[in-house]
Structure 1
């Protein structure tokens, strides 16, 4: 296993899952022998049916606790309290009520791309998508208590912490006393995050509002360690929302470039539904194919590509005995590539998500937002932001990837490894070319 992990654990786990055809595999990682669980029946067993025996704890979960704490990213009463505090802010109804505000924020950021588009100057996709997500999260989580510049600094530190946290997670057999590459960068990122977040919490306690941070402060009260609980709640949700949305939007462009028919259909739908904009809430239900594209991107590149659970009591999964205390690895990335549940699983095909197909799929053959009680509560926000962003960009520009492919993920994460250079073709110029070609 070690040579495979060194070359890249993301695809190593997916290859093992495909070779085992979704069977449970026990990985030999030296002193640690986790189970790799990828069959949808087995995933459901762990994440929903018997979730109380498979907890987010143990050696594998220790790096997460050092970064995100034990509230929203943990278990037990603290997790339940965090979930209860967050739930009203992430319902489909509440997110929908904010669609116009979020659309305006996105339109303002996309408007800044007009200048490089006119000048023929390329932009970098991941950084640009990150800026869009930062702008949205700053308004949604902080209201007017924070600035875009502070949000960008937070996102940068999140990226550093997640990158090196993943290294520790996939090698939990390495004692904490043995340094790994990135340990110092991880610690520095967490320290920088705390230096940015705690002043915002103090500001929220003095200046109450309708944003997420204010709601968390009200829910957590002012007792001992209340600020720490708010900090952990806030950072856990921000990290999940920032990573998932940024990386999904970044992967869209190379996938569209490699599949021109998909791109043409996406552009046609957005041209028909939105025109030249602005994008509004009433447009979103009509962007059916755009939603299918986003769902297929998440199938191939789910941000939370691996999840860990810790069985507190012995049991069995699919007839296989599972020892208490042995970590269980669940990988949406691997499950989403199983030939037994997906036709041509390595190909990009949004038609998989055409209306009615979801009834033909196993519920846990596709779980980019997890499942069971720990399913991500930010999925409605993600859907709205992703659709608004794609529709706003495509209504004004048709990005073309100039980076030679294929684009590959980083070894320990699913963010694009290479910078993705985009050339923005203004819609008016593209339409003029199309008219000349057909005339």
Structure 2
């Protein structure tokens, strides 16, 4: 059967105005059916029903590689590592998976908590001065410093860390135009291309000297760079350099970007839901008190976990996971031709009314202990699914709650941002507008 098709006159204007929400609207109009979007020379299929998502990401995953839209510009940033397919992906996954298991991440949490406490202490002058801060930039800086210390063994200097974090953020957001116009050849100049190239150059200037040094002297440290050098030391020199560089960029993204972007969305959400914020404050006061956060706090932050689960439902950082059909096949009863692009979006599926009651409302009770209703496995997939599920998910559920608990043990955030916030369609889902936060010391005044 032929899928319903939405013509250009119905798709172009919404996509230009707000592409992320537009995809959700298209899925709702067709009740989660496979729908073809007519976008001039680009005619992708929008895949939103959990049955179809599961088929593409898990059951028939090897016929749906990560190629084409999104993956081309991402490959220009991260190379062919954990984000690719084929032998490069298999090699990277084999090397990197042991570094991201739940057990290994648990062994890092105390060091993570200590690094987070130091980073939060550095924010106290802003709080005393009553200064409004760009929370996206500050969360990125805090997460980056923590990850570099815990995973990279502080092999990246403070000065280089200050360069690496912003450069990665620019690289991850500057190819939005190529994401929206995937049919444009690489040789055609697009907005953001120059910024992207400069950012990648900065990333390489920071990482490549470390890569070469680690290959000369792998050492026996348990940091990521040493572990990758030991795993790759038998490969050809230039090839080993390339693979380690690509692995490091991918690891940095998996460790930093997801958490920093989620923490940017969290503060406006708490501001708009004071009852959720009050309950979260109460849990932090009970579990952490006024002292620094530590690893022992993590299992007791149960409401915090529900808040993050719901945050990832509404604002999944990896908001779009396109795939290409390598061979013709059927998706449900819809024939899909070889070479077709399939648009899969957690942002869209997480808002389907068939699977979520009040899908646009922020309600952590959906994920409260003992209250979770049975739902389709692929109605909720903020970290992707199948063999390509994000390896950084365990790290996220360690570092994000520790950071929020550490911040709320000391401060109450005031938020200044326009409403509604517009999701920016880049590699990860950031707010398009500036979100500013003022940190009020606990006991120093009520949050507005």
- TM-score class, shorter-chain normalisation, is over 0.9
Other-structure match for 1:437: none
Other-structure match for 1:424: 439
Other-structure match for 2:12: 2
Partners in 2 of 1:14 and 1:160 — Cα distance? Answer: 26
Other-structure match for 1:245: 259
Structure 1, unaligned runs of 5 or more? 435-439
1:13 and 2:23 aligned: yes
Would you say how many aligned residue pairs link Structure 1 and Structure 2?
Answer: 432
Conserved? CA contact 1:71–1:78, under 8 Å: yes
1:92 and 2:102 aligned: yes
Conserved? CA contact 2:259–2:400, under 8 Å: yes
Other-structure match for 1:74: 84
State how 1:343-382 maps to structure 2 within 5 Å: 343-358=357-372, 360-382=374-396
Partners in 2 of 1:81 and 1:345 — Cα distance? Answer: 39
TM-score by length of 2: 0.92
Aligned counterpart for 1:159 among listed residues 169, 174, 179 = 169
- Structure 1 pair 30–357 and aligned structure 2 pair: CA distance change class (3 A): farther
- Structure 1 pair 127–168 and aligned structure 2 pair: CA distance change class (3 A): same
Give the deviation of 1:297 after TM superposition: 1.0
Aligned counterpart for 1:168 among listed residues 171, 175, 178 = 178
Partners in 2 of 1:402 and 1:157 — Cα distance? Answer: 25
Give the deviation of 1:123 after TM superposition: 2.3
RMSD over aligned CA atoms reads 1.7
Conserved? CA contact 1:204–1:214, under 8 Å: yes
Other-structure match for 1:135: 145
- Structure 1 pair 60–300 and aligned structure 2 pair: CA distance change class (3 A): closer
1:215 and 2:230 aligned: no
SS at match of 1:348: coil
Partners in 1 of 2:251 and 2:231 — Cα distance? Answer: 15
1:29 and 2:56 aligned: no
SS at match of 1:428: coil
SS at match of 1:229: helix
State how 1:27-426 maps to structure 2 within 5 Å: 27-58=37-68, 61-205=71-215, 206=217, 208=219, 209-221=221-233, 222-224=235-237, 225-358=239-372, 360-412=374-426, 414-426=429-441
Other-structure match for 2:8: none
Partners in 2 of 1:174 and 1:404 — Cα distance? Answer: 33
Give the deviation of 1:207 after TM superposition: 5.4
Partners in 2 of 1:307 and 1:170 — Cα distance? Answer: 14
Other-structure match for 2:5: none
Partners in 1 of 2:70 and 2:264 — Cα distance? Answer: 28
Partners in 1 of 2:155 and 2:290 — Cα distance? Answer: 32
Comparing 96-105 and 11-20, the one that deviates more: 11-20
Conserved? CA contact 2:111–2:150, under 8 Å: no
- Structure 1 pair 53–422 and aligned structure 2 pair: CA distance change class (3 A): same
Partners in 2 of 1:327 and 1:362 — Cα distance? Answer: 24
Conserved? CA contact 1:145–1:203, under 8 Å: no
TM-score by length of 1: 0.94
More helix by share: 1
Comparing 271-280 and 58-67, the one that deviates more: 58-67
Give the deviation of 1:167 after TM superposition: 2.5
Conserved? CA contact 2:68–2:182, under 8 Å: no
Conserved? CA contact 2:32–2:48, under 8 Å: yes
Give the deviation of 1:382 after TM superposition: 0.6
SS at match of 2:225: helix
Give the deviation of 1:56 after TM superposition: 1.0
- Structure 1 pair 58–406 and aligned structure 2 pair: CA distance change class (3 A): closer
Partners in 2 of 1:2 and 1:243 — Cα distance? Answer: 29
Partners in 2 of 1:211 and 1:402 — Cα distance? Answer: 38
Partners in 1 of 2:151 and 2:214 — Cα distance? Answer: 11
Partners in 1 of 2:70 and 2:429 — Cα distance? Answer: 19
- Structure 1 pair 326–295 and aligned structure 2 pair: CA distance change class (3 A): same
Partners in 1 of 2:164 and 2:203 — Cα distance? Answer: 6
SS at match of 1:172: coil
Conserved? CA contact 2:280–2:303, under 8 Å: yes
